[in-house]
Amino acid sequence: MKKLITLVLAICMVLALAACGAPAPAAPADKAETPAEPEAEGYTVNACIASEPETIDPNLVASVDGSTYTQHQFENLMKYKMIDAHPAALPAENPNVCDTEVVYGQAESYEVSEDMCTYTFKLRDDIFWSDGEPVKAGDWVYSWRRLVDPATGADYGYFLDGVVLNAAAIQNEEKKVEELGVKALDDKTLEVTLEAPCPYFIEMCAFSALVPLREDVVEGNDTWTEPENIVVNGAYKVSEWAHDSYIKMVPNEMYYDVDNLGPAEIVWHLSDSETAILSAYQNGEYDFIDSFPTDMIDTLKASGDCFINPYVGTYYLYLNCDKITDWRVRAALTLSMDRENIVTNVTQGGQVPAKGFVASGILDSTGADFSEGASELGAIFNTLAKMYPDADLTTYAGRCALAKELYDEAVEEGAWDANTTLVYNFNTSEAHKAIAEACGSDWGTVLGIKITLENQEWGTYTTGLGEHKFGVARLGWIADYNDPITYLELMTTGNSYNYGLYSDPEFDKFIADAKKMPADADRDALLYKAEEALFGEGGFPVSPVYYYTNAYCMKGLSNVGYTSMGYFFLQYAVK
């Protein structure tokens, strides 16, 4: 989904790991993030980033918008903090948006054991819940246990698998949740035991699914996220939620940095109509949007409204292995998609055609971009190039030729009925529809495949993904932390995001082994091998389309934070 530090910081962290073999503590977050003086006090920031969220329960959130709401209401052991100077990682034309880095949040320090498997966090003394109760180490114990408990049914239930001790065994119902490697030594000391050294664990400690939660507030209360019930420990708190209309947040008076917060209110308007969102922005109703018709990007850039940020994410299609059972048909669909046409003439937002599943911006242990490491062709085509050395996979025409060959083989052998009509599902969006139409045109022209397009609102759509009734379905995955695992483990057997029902024991072992290895050349090689295995014989459970960029419109705001994992931060915004 969908979500921890920017490229500049990630490079620094990787180099630090390579140099010393252990994650270095981030600088303490004792300096308040002080915004510039606003023109007037008591201002409201109006933003629209998505439609009605499925939930704002941090353990259950599975989208960037839901995680953004979480980041404003809750604070983890670590947090994102704006970098004072405008960095090269973000476009210089909008100095009002600042890069972020991961620093201490609710923790004031941490220590790491010699074997790098035990982290001991000391909490700040000035952290309180919005109802005045002190934040305690046990609140993380409850939250993390709840996340991995199979009974919770969290999409991110797998997140700690292979990282925190016994998380995978608990998910597999082999151990009890009480055996998870997290314990409160006292109210201010949290101890986390890992399965093996994890180079990205500290980044995980800023992630939204791992924020603390109060057991007495959450347990047995299905409406605990409603404004009248919710208790938070972050900068802002929901005060109103008019479902399918808006979510209003106000400062949390118990937050340790409340005196330096910016807006008196942040109103998150809820809509899935890109045209209506843009109209509201142009009429002055919204200050910030990141969803609008793609054919307006050039006009909005020219007017000084639209900016494009780097974004560590991949837009891709699930190819349901239960519906499209022959890998050659899935490969043919992947090969015959004209990615260059899609990014040039459909999305028009500076996106780059995908060469693999792992997004551009994810780094290997040397600091090199993982998406560039497999070969010049990229992971999608590299294995096929070895299997079919006479095929020209450097051109779209050559890829279409191999696609037709593979597809015809499957049809002739009776592995695929050429009269089949594929159901292509997408959530309501003009952009998703345009991409679906472009793919359908390519597949019809090259392969003769017929498709039916079905769009649904987000809540219904994600439910349908879990029911696996589609033939093809779109999704985008935004990195949760800067490591290839954040993508590759999605395709392991039984993963909650493996909607295409792919299963390969050898691939599963690649990922399990990589999780136990330090960040070095051997681990890099195994992960490159794992990704290429997804796109060989028996594979192609997904068809990557492009690497994301993040286009947004903003006016009248400054001091807005951003991470290339997709979150914008408005806590200190000035209007």
Please check the confidence at residue 84 and state whether its pLDDT lies above 80.
no
Rounded Cα gap, residues 204 and 482, in angstroms: 10
pTM for this predicted structure: 0.85
**Model confidence at 459, in pLDDT bands (50, 70, 90)?**
confident
Span 312-549 CATH architecture: Roll (3.10)
Q: Which fold has domain 7-286+555-569?
A: D-Maltodextrin-Binding Protein; domain 2 (3.40.190)
Q: What is the DSSP string of 389-457?
A: TTS-TTSHHHHHHHHHHHHHHHHHTTSS-TT-EEEEEEES-HHHHHHHHHHHHHHHHHH--EEEEEEE-
The pLDDT of 287-300, averaged and rounded, is 94
- Supply the pLDDT for residue 21: 34
The rounded distance, in Å, linking the Cα atoms of 554 and 281 is 9
Q: Which two tokens stand for residue 552?
A: 């947004």
Q: Tell me how far apart the alpha carbons of residues 136 and 186 are, in angstroms, rounded to a whole number.
A: 8
Confidence at 546, pLDDT banded by 50, 70, 90: very high
Q: pLDDT band at 568, cuts 50/70/90?
A: very high
Distance CA 292, CA 355 (A): 26
Domain ranges of the chain: 7-286+555-569, 312-549
Asked whether residue 210 carries a pLDDT value surpassing 80, the answer given is yes
Q: Which of 7-11, 130-134, 182-186, 270-274 has the lowest mean pLDDT?
A: 7-11
Under 8 Å CB-to-CB from 414, ≥6 apart: which residues? none
pLDDT of 12: 34
The whole-number pLDDT of residue 10 equals 37
pLDDT digits (tens, 9 = 90+) for 327-383: 999 999 999 999 999 999 999 999 999 999 999 999 999 999 999 876 788 999 999
Give the pLDDT score at 89.
Answer: 56
| pLDDT in the model for residue 2 | 34
Q: Residue length, the chain?
A: 575
pLDDT of residue 92: 57
What pLDDT band is residue 322 in, cutting at 50, 70 and 90? very high
| Mean pLDDT within 424-443 | 95
Bridge-based pairing of strands 542-554 and 306-319 is antiparallel
Give the C-alpha separation, 565 to 536, whole Å.
29
- Give how far Cα 139 sits from Cα of 76, 124, 190, 513, Å: 11, 14, 10, 31
Q: Is the predicted pLDDT of residue 14 greater than 80, yes or no? A: no
